[in-house]
């Protein structure tokens, strides 16, 4: 574990890597905050902030007088619905090779459902980005992302840039970040169009996620319709008592 002028995000990444595959892999507890801060060469304040974020994600549990417990069982989970991963990273976590079979970009106008999710008027101009993510060349995730043209500040983008994760587009051309998502999850069966895209029989099971991304101020900035093929992912949700 190298000392350095680390940012909070870097500290989080280092600690997660060390707990999963590094020097703390076989440990039940992390060292004291004082020792960890010295090992990383960061302030106690930065370390506490980083540990607080890791605790919120369930990888550790902290209690006065007990210390910091490493939840190795959480590290063993492959796909977590409660954490926001890029689609290609999600596929990688299953051990498969990720790819994008096709993507399309078009413009249109918000219907009632899109308008409701993005809190805009019906017929407001929108941008739609469709991607089909593959796992070992097999269709795995179909996603339609919708963005209101109202939040786009720079129209100099190239369509090819939208093949990248949508969060990069939002940051670069809308000057916004997704702070949190609210997601409705439900099982569905494939209609003719979905069956053709996923190369499955009509009526086959799919997992559908209806998701709205919000910025820090609570404004809806991204609406996504996501379809997951059966048998590729084992989705897990970490729930804490409140």
For 168-188, the pLDDT digits (tens) are 999 999 999 999 999 999 999
Phi-psi region of 230 (alpha: psi -120 to 50; beta: other; left: phi over 0): beta
Residues 146, 214 within the same domain: yes
pLDDT of residue 113: 97
Question: Model confidence over 73-90: pLDDT tens digits?
Answer: 998 887 777 777 789 989
Q: Which of the two residues, 82 and 49, has the higher pLDDT score? A: 49
Average pLDDT, the chain: 92
| Residue 13 clears pLDDT 70, i.e. is over it | yes
Task: At 186, list the tokens.
Answer: 């439900």
Asked if residue 116 has pLDDT above 80, the reply is yes
For residue 242, pLDDT beyond 80:
no
Between strands 79-80 and 235-236, the pairing is parallel
Lowest mean pLDDT among 83-97, 114-128, 159-173: 83-97
pLDDT at 235 exceeding the cut of 90: no
Please give the Cα distance from 106 to 34 (Å, whole number): 53
> For residue 115, is pLDDT > 90?
yes
> Residues 203, 216: one domain?
yes
How many domains is the chain built from?
2
**Same domain flag for 218 and 115:** yes
pLDDT category, 126, cuts 50, 70, 90?
very high
List the domain range (segments joined by +) for residue 165.
Answer: 79-236
H or E element, residue 223: strand 220-229
CATH of the domain at 33: 1.10.10.10
241: confidence class by pLDDT, cuts 50, 70, 90? confident
Residues 6+ positions from 223 with CB-CB distance below 8 Å: 114, 117, 118, 145, 146, 147, 211, 212, 213
First-to-last C-alpha distance (Å) of the chain = 34
Is residue 85 a part of any domain in this protein?
yes
User: Which pTM was predicted?
Assistant: 0.81
Average pLDDT over residues 188-212: 97
Cβ proximity of 131 and 143 under 8 Å: yes
Task: Give the separation between CA 113 and CA 119, rounded to whole angstroms.
Answer: 10
Q: Which among 75, 91, 114 is the end of a domain?
A: 75
The answer as to whether 157 is a domain residue is yes
Look at residue 3 and tell me if it is in a domain. no
pLDDT category at 2 given cuts 50, 70, 90 is low
Q: Is pLDDT above 70 for 4?
A: no
C-beta of residue 181 within 8 angstroms of C-beta of residue 204? no
Instruction: Give the rounded percent of residues in the chain with a pLDDT score beyond 70.
Output: 98
Q: Are residues 44 and 122 in the same domain?
A: no
Residue 1 lies in a domain: no
């Amino acid at each position: 574990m190298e000392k350095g002028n680390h940012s909070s995000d870097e500290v989080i990444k280092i600690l997660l890597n060390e707990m999963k595959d590094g020097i703390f892999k076989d440990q039940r507890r992390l060292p004291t905050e004082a020792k960890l801060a010295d090992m990383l060469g960061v302030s106690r304040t930065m370390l506490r902030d980083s540990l607080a974020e890791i605790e919120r994600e369930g990888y550790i549990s902290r209690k006065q007088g007990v210390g910091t417990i490493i939840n190795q069982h959480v590290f063993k989970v492959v796909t977590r619905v409660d954490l926001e991963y890029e689609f290609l990273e999600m596929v990688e976590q299953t051990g498969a090779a990720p790819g994008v079979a096709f993507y399309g970009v078009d413009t249109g106008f918000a219907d009632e459902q899109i308008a409701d999710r993005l809190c805009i008027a019906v017929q407001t101009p929108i941008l739609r980005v469709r991607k089909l993510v593959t796992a070992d060349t097999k269709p795995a995730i179909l996603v339609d992302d919708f963005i209101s043209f109202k939040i786009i500040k720079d129209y100099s983008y190239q369509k090819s840039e939208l093949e990248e994760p949508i969060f990069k587009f939002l940051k670069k051309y809308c000057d916004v970040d997704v702070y949190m998502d609210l997601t409705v999850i439900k099982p569905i069966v494939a209609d003719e169009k979905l069956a053709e895209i996923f190369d499955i029989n009509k009526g086959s099971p799919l997992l559908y996620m209806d998701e709205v991304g919000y910025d820090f101020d609570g404004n809806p900035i991204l609406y996504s319709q996501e379809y997951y093929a059966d048998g590729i992912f084992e989705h897990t949700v970490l729930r804490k008592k409140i």
